[in-house]
């Protein structure tokens, strides 16, 4: 009798597959309209009870569906728009929201888990009550997000990040690894996606040697939107983030024109005056209520920025405009930049046989002096967080 029921269930499942068809969902992904094809047999995999064995069987049922078209389209969109891992996960979430429209968050998270696993990531699932959380293995330093350890690997809870507020209550870890040798999920910010930019304009003005310089700058607001959901990562990663092509093509020609004909030292002084004077200062916790390091495009969007944000922008500008070696210097309560300036004398640190002179990008406002360490940091311990050669 038990064998008969098993065969009947299998026949019904195969029959449902035969009736399945291909459908297309459309959704807006930042500034792009995305079309994803999927086979409707995915819809026939019903929501499991939220407990270990049922969740595992749900995954195995999804594996038996004709899911290849969904994964292929997701991969094609990832390649077409040069999406990093974080944005790929956002793409998967957007597709699943449409495919399972009207279904529970638990069902959606189970399909997101399946898609990320079948895309090659090492994943885990945690659950509690009727909620399911998708976790991915990462080697990156992640802050203010729930983490779990399993089999010597660290997993970050993507579902809690998406919900913004981390859930601090206990959860159960599903004892099942879909792809135990899967790759790590990266949160690095070193590349920009190939999606259409969302232009925003900002008018700036700064003073340099008794003269005012007005600038009108375009930047890509897509990156502001992306970073609103991005988890907090190691501060060095923000400093490595490049300017968007929109910002580069708008800002760099104007600054290049301003430094033309000036000595190398005076050119650096002008860049320093720019980052010190164009933006209002306020610490993250005072303005955002939390730590919020920015990448360069964000500095132009928000009304306030602090030393971390100015350092990220300054680092990018000196790298692009002058190409001089630099160090990122971290004090207990301050971040600054030291630059290897040719034929210069001032407050410096020697590192790997080269002198680097302090050039604080933050302040004081309406000043341009370089090669001086602010008095409040003299004698303090510091850490070299990064280097550009």
Q: Any idea where the domains of the chain sit in the sequence? A: 2-173, 211-388
| Tokens standing for residue 195 | 């999606």
- Mean pLDDT within 324-341: 96
Q: What pTM does this model have?
A: 0.90
Q: Tokens at residue 75, please?
A: 């991969």
pLDDT recorded at residue 6: 45
Residue 248 and residue 384: Cα distance in Å, rounded? 27
Query: Is the pLDDT assigned to residue 85 strictly greater than 90?
Result: yes
Q: What is the pLDDT of residue 19?
A: 63
Preceding amide of 222 cis, omega within 30: no
pLDDT over 50 at 320, yes or no: yes
Task: Tell me what pLDDT residue 40 has.
Answer: 97
CATH match of 211-388 with 3.10.620: yes
Residue 95 has pLDDT above 90, yes or no: yes
Pairing, β 32-39 against β 22-29 = antiparallel
The per-residue pLDDT for 32 is 98
Q: Strand, coil or helix: what is 238?
A: helix
């Amino acid at each position: 009798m038990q064998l008969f029921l098993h065969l009947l269930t299998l026949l019904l499942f195969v029959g449902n597959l035969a009736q399945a068809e291909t459908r297309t969902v459309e959704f807006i992904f930042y500034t792009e309209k995305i079309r994803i094809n999927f086979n409707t047999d995915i819809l026939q995999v019903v929501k499991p009870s939220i407990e270990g064995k049922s969740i595992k069987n749900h995954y195995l049922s999804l594996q038996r569906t004709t899911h290849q078209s969904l994964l292929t389209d997701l991969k094609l969109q990832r390649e077409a728009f040069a999406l990093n891992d974080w944005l790929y996960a956002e793409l998967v979430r957007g597709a699943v929201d449409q495919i399972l429209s009207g279904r529970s968050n638990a069902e959606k998270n189970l399909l997101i888990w399946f898609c990320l696993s079948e895309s090659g990531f090492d994943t885990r699932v945690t659950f509690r009550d009727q909620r399911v959380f998708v976790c991915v293995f990462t080697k990156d330093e992640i802050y203010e997000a729930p983490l779990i350890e399993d089999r010597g690997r660290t997993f970050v809870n993507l579902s809690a990040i998406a919900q913004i507020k981390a859930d601090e209550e206990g959860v159960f870890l599903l004892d099942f690894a879909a792809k135990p040798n899967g790759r790590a999920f990266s949160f690095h910010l070193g590349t920009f996606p190939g999606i259409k930019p969302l232009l925003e304009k900002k008018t700036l003005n700064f003073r340099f040697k008794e003269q005012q310089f007005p600038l009108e700058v375009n930047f890509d607001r897509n990156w502001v939107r992306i970073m609103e959901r991005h988890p907090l990562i190691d501060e060095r990663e923000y400093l490595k983030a490049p300017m968007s092509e929109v910002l580069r093509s708008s800002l760099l020609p104007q600054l290049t024109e301003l430094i033309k004909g000036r000595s190398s030292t005076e050119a650096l002084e002008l860049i320093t005056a720019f980052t010190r004077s164009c933006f209002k200062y306020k610490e993250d916790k005072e303005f955002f209520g939390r730590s919020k390091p920015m990448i360069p495009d964000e500095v132009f969007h928000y009304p306030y920025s602090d030393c971390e944000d100015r350092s990220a922008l300054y680092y990018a500008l000196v790298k692009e405009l002058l190409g001089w070696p630099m160090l990122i210097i971290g004090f207990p309560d301050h971040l600054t930049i030291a630059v290897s300036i040719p034929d210069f004398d001032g407050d410096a640190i020697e590192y790997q046989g080269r002198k680097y002179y302090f050039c604080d990008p933050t302040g004081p406002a309406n000043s341009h002096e370089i090669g001086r360490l602010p008095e409040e940091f003299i004698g303090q311990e510091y850490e070299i967080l990064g280097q550009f050669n």
